[in-house]
Amino acid sequence: VAKNDHRGVALATGAADDVAGRQRLTTLEELRVGLDRGELALHYQPQMHLASGTVTGVEALVRWDHPRRGLVFPDVFLPLAEHAGLMGRLTLQVLDIALAQSRDWRADGLDLVVAVNLSASNLQDTTLPGHVADALSRYEVPPAALHLEVTEEILMRDAARATAVLEELREMGVRLAVDDYGTGYSSLAYLHALPVDDLKLDRAFVTHCDTDPRSAAIVKSTVELAHNLGMRMIAEGVESEAALDRLRDWDCDLVQGYHLSRPLPADRFTAWLAERHIFAQVPSEIDT
Ligand code: C2E
Ligand code: MG
Ligand code: MG
Ligand code: MG
């Protein structure tokens, strides 16, 4: 009986894997169709310059507006897209949407920087800088108004190729940030070598920095590290006024998090800006 039970469990597990596998395949097929149909949408989350209290930019975060399932979040479809080799197409669509939005904002007098996330495979693609340059000129957006975020893991693949792609982007005048800083496997050596402008400290260290002494120590020393390297420090995952106050005390440059706003569709973001009378400023007018 025990044997049969055991086999029964194994079979059941196999069946569950099949269901999960089929589900992933369906999602992937639907994603291919969704990319063709333009079902990707971006939500924008404000980034605030602490010293001046102005919103200087937004991070563009991708969502999939699925015809039946509604809004699907990136943790569901980005791993599939990456695995299936769809990430190049996806990123170009995201850039297109973000830069079209940037052009519209600029036409309305909103000089916001837009930050776009890159995936691991994007930095292995030596045609990426050319595509970025094309998109910037197509929408007449100055390169300095585009920031690109990369995680530490990205560099673990082919670091030489990734560095070459990053260098080309930076030479164009695009600003680069290390995202989720502190959660990857990289050593300090890459900070020394990489052409990056900003450190974006992961929210794991930020959210409770007002109450947790170890988080506080990490935040404070990361601000110092960033500044000593000539970089800016961005804190993500700011969820309270208390955390915001500490970050200001510690000289953090930019903050982002639910305490300011969740990521919002473009129209709701501009309404949020107007309601709060927080006006965007040309980042170059702010001494950072
Ligand atoms: P990320 O780049 O680190 O983006 C920040 C994530 O944290 C976002 O989740 C955002 O909604 C969430 N977040 C913002 N403020 C807070 C806060 O105060 N508390 C908490 N708990 N969370 C906060 P989201 O939008 O689900 O995106 C998840 C990840 O998916 C992103 O992490 C990024 O790695 C990836 N991603 C999103 N959009 C794109 C994209 O267009 N391209 C690529 N390659 N990756 C993207
Ligand atoms: Mg990011
Ligand atoms: Mg992050
Ligand atoms: Mg993240």
Please give the residue that has the higher pLDDT: either 190 or 149.
Answer: 149
Quick check: CB of 73 below 6 Å from ligand 1? yes
pLDDT at 286: 52
The average confidence (pLDDT) of the chain is: 90
pLDDT at 277: 62
| Complex prediction ipTM | 0.98
**Is a pLDDT exceeding 60 seen at residue 285?**
no
Q: Do the Cβ atoms of 140 and 107 come closer than 8 Å? A: no
**Is a pLDDT exceeding 70 seen at residue 7?**
no
Backbone angles phi and psi of 187, in degrees to 5: -90, 180
pLDDT at 11: 45
pLDDT at 87: 96
**How many Å apart are CA 196 and CA 230, to the nearest integer?**
10
pLDDT at 194: 84
Query: Residue 274 to residues 138, 240, 279: CA-CA distances in angstroms?
Result: 28, 21, 7
pLDDT at 279: 56
Tell me the percentage of the chain whose pLDDT exceeds 90.
76
Query: Which ligand does the CA of 78 lie closest to?
Result: 1
Rounded mean pLDDT of 65-79? 95
pLDDT at 18: 82
pLDDT at 186: 65
Query: Which ligand does the CA of 200 lie closest to?
Result: 3
Both tokens assigned to 39: 């079902």
**Is a pLDDT exceeding 50 seen at residue 1?**
no
pLDDT at 280: 55
Residues with CB in 5 Å of ion ligand 4: 180
Distance 180 CA to ligand 4 centre (A): 6
Residues with CB in 5 Å of ion ligand 2: 117, 149, 179
Q: Which candidate, 46, 93, 13, 73, places its Cα nearest to that of 257? A: 46
Please give the residue that has the higher pLDDT: either 210 or 26.
Answer: 210
Q: Quote the crossing angle between the two packed helices 128-138 and 87-107, to the nearest 10°.
A: 30
**How many Å apart are CA 31 and CA 59, to the nearest integer?**
23
**Is a pLDDT exceeding 50 seen at residue 203?**
yes
The continuous run of DSSP H or E covering 60 comes out as strand 54-66
Mutate to test the pocket of ligand 1, among 236, 239, 264 (most ligand atoms within 8 A of CB): 236
Quick check: CB of 61 below 6 Å from ligand 1? yes
pLDDT in tens, 220-262: 999 999 999 999 999 999 999 999 999 999 999 999 999 999 9
Torsion of CA 256, 259, 260, 264, to 10 degrees: 90
**How many Å apart are CA 241 and CA 250, to the nearest integer?**
14
Rounded mean pLDDT of 78-106? 97
